[in-house]
Structure 1
Amino acid sequence: MRVLVLSDIHANYTALTAVLNDAEGVDAVWCLGDVVGYGPDPNACVELLSEQPNVVCVLGNHDVAALGDMPLDSFNGDARRSLIWHERVLSADSIKFLRSLPSRKVEISEHVTLVHGSPRDPVWEYILNTLSARLNFEEFNTDFCFVGHTHVQSIFQLDPNLNRISLDMPHVGMPVPLTGRAILNPGSVGQPRDRDPRAAYVIFDTEALTWEPQRVEYNIKSVQARIREARLPEKHALRLAEGW
């Protein structure tokens, strides 16, 4: 089965559409949370995601906050401003879909666990380095854990013989054979933070056990215009063009 793995859409409908078009022909879509937050298109993104084949999604911290289930003072000022706007504009259907999603880690197959932040803290913890990765390998039972939240494509691999964790930033378009145990991040669809503004995603082959990172360009200026029309923070428009 060919699976589209994506995360951190952040209400960027133009980027999400570009990813879905670029990855056409997939058998399933696995989303690692933060469908909303930051961007100008929360309802359009929820609707489009919910229509995808065999979609499985977990909640991210911005999703939880937009539902009113997390204090907004947990976020910085700009993120808080956007979340207040998202709370106001989310439709009943969007709220219903988001409320149907789990905020915990989900074992999607014998090989894979899905989570937004980390296995030990599904909503909030960032896996940014080998230390935080090491602390999480004992928190899931499958071979692989797919995480989002950092907005950076990355692979943390465990070498049990050397008791060592390695960090790899995989090359776009080159399938990575998965062996042993690993924590893998597909990057962000709607707000990359690795200095590459293109929307990020991954194709996971469940039979060959390969992980293929991808990037796709989209019309960033149109998203920036909608952010400004909605009077959302200017920072959230500017950062899209530079990928930070």
Structure 2
Amino acid sequence: MTRILVISDIHANLTALQAVLDAAANVDATWCLGDLVGYGPDPNECVELVRSIQNLTCLIGNHDAAAIGSIDTMFFNREARLSAQWVKSRISKENILFLKSLPERVVIGEATLVHGSPRNPVWEYLLDIQAAAINSSYFKTQLCFVGHTHVPVVYTVDELGGGTMRKLDHKEIVPLKQRLIINPGSVGQPRDRDKRASYAIYNPEQKTWEAYRIDYDISSVQQRIVTAKLPLRHAQRLAEGW
């Protein structure tokens, strides 16, 4: 039975990433849906740890693209823009090359992988049923895995504009019997009022998706954010999950 770790939105939070990798050590492959950097204090460390993962498939997110200068940060909020500038001043040449090598979209078996949406893989947020339904015509596989919103959620979709949206709880198992768009949530900056790191396990043979949360030492990450003189908002939100 193949077990695939699906993660997204690490956001330079090494402590959260290590907690997830330790909790999900017994997997056959790892799929990362982007945003390795941004907001957090550990951009180089997180990219280097992701680079070391065996059987890795990794996509580029909007904060990764900002770090390598391939997109303009004018549409970022002030704190995110400051963080992106900080990352650009510190990211190593080796990690820049890695981020530049990342694709925007990958199709593996029955799954299409993107960071934002199949229509706009880097930028678009899938926040409601209408957006999910519109995007259902932009991928051909049964499943589409997305990140970007930092919320673990599953959409049932159809091209007529119908469907459902449901937030996923810890240890919830989703049968993959229909056309779905699924988000594993955020490793490094959850935004669903649950401060625990979020990840998922995809079982392609059993056709299941397992949602998980894991505690980690938030205070140590907050201290590193303060020490790095990054915006305090990035530290405050970690303890509240927003």
- Give TM class, smaller chain: over 0.9
Which residue of the partner structure matches residue 33 of structure 2?
32
| 1:105 and 2:105 correspond | yes
Determine the C-alpha separation between the residues in 2 that align with 1:182 and 1:192. Answer: 21
Q: In the TM superposition, what is the alpha-carbon distance from 1:171 to its structure 2 partner?
A: 2.5
Q: Secondary structure at the match of 1:242?
A: coil
Which residue of the partner structure matches residue 144 of structure 1?
143
Cα deviations by residue, 1:205-241 (Å, 9 ceiling, x for unpaired):
0110100000000000000000000000000000000
Which residue of the partner structure matches residue 222 of structure 2?
224
**Ranges in structure 1 where 5+ consecutive residues have no aligned partner:** none
Amino acid at match of 2:194: D
Which residue of the partner structure matches residue 22 of structure 1?
23
Matched-pair contact (CA < 8 Å) for 1:106–1:113: yes
Q: In the TM superposition, what is the alpha-carbon distance from 1:179 to its structure 2 partner?
A: 1.0
Aligned ranges for residues 1-244 of structure 1 at < 5 Å? 1-102=2-103, 104-109=104-109, 111-158=110-157, 164-244=162-242
- Count the aligned residue pairs: 241
Q: Which runs of 4+ in 1 moved over 2 A?
A: none
Amino acid at match of 1:213: A
Q: Secondary structure at the match of 1:74?
A: coil
Determine the C-alpha separation between the residues in 2 that align with 1:178 and 1:206. Answer: 9
Q: In the TM superposition, what is the alpha-carbon distance from 1:159 to its structure 2 partner?
A: 5.8
Q: In the TM superposition, what is the alpha-carbon distance from 1:174 to its structure 2 partner?
A: 2.4
TM-score by length of 1: 0.96
Determine the C-alpha separation between the residues in 1 that align with 2:180 and 2:154. Answer: 7
Q: In the TM superposition, what is the alpha-carbon distance from 1:163 to its structure 2 partner?
A: 6.4
Cα deviations by residue, 1:105-133 (Å, 9 ceiling, x for unpaired):
21122x00000000000000000000000
**Ranges in structure 2 where 5+ consecutive residues have no aligned partner:** none
Q: In the TM superposition, what is the alpha-carbon distance from 1:184 to its structure 2 partner?
A: 0.2
Determine the C-alpha separation between the residues in 1 that align with 2:92 and 2:161. Answer: 48
Determine the C-alpha separation between the residues in 1 that align with 2:215 and 2:146. Answer: 23
Amino acid at match of 1:171: D
Q: 1:127 to 1:66 in 2, by over 3 A?
A: same
Q: Secondary structure at the match of 1:72?
A: coil
Matched-pair contact (CA < 8 Å) for 1:159–1:180: no
Q: Secondary structure at the match of 1:75?
A: coil
RMSD: 1.2
Amino acid at match of 2:40: G
Q: Secondary structure at the match of 2:112?
A: strand
Q: Secondary structure at the match of 2:187?
A: coil
Matched-pair contact (CA < 8 Å) for 2:130–2:161: no
